[in-house]
Amino acid sequence: MSLYVDADACPVREECARVAIRLGQRCVIVCNGGLRPSDHPLVETVFVPEGSDAADRWIAERAGPGDVVVTADIPLAARCVEAGARVLRHDGSVLNAANIGNILAMRDLMADLRAADPLRPGGGKGFTKADRSRFLGALDRALGAALREARDGH
């Protein structure tokens, strides 16, 4: 069981590492660079080559059943869900087989709308304390469920 963090522009990297350490689980921070690696033996920092989606490919090739992935990237989330991993967004929302198709379709629709109207205001809302709190609760639940599954042999 591993916690994979798509760390480029991730506002909850430190929280991921803290929760993984508290639970005694491996945390893999994946990025293109610019981050200071942790000294803790359970927290591994993987630097992937510069380039479009290099971190996403690295995570998608490894994540599977029993793993938890933290990402805001919807195509990566879809690949990880398909591989059997649990997936969380930074705000604590869960991406799973029941909702990933609709979320991916909405992402594509919004991209088409932005392309059709380049003057349309873009960007999302800022990351709040409530988002961080929801994320921490969701991460505890996801890692706890993965640990119970591993212990029970499912």
pTM of the model: 0.84
Quick check: 85 pLDDT over 90? yes
**What pLDDT score was predicted for residue 151?**
85
Going by C-alpha positions, the residue among 142, 120, 128 that lies closest to residue 69 is 142
- What residues does each domain of the chain span? 2-152
Question: What backbone torsions phi and psi does residue 44 show, to the nearest 5 degrees?
Answer: -105, 135
Quick check: 122 pLDDT over 80? no
d(C-alpha 43, C-alpha 28), whole Å: 6
**What pLDDT score was predicted for residue 126?**
79
**What pLDDT score was predicted for residue 136?**
95
Please provide the size of the chain in residues: 154
Instruction: Give, in words, the CATH class of 2-152.
Output: alpha beta
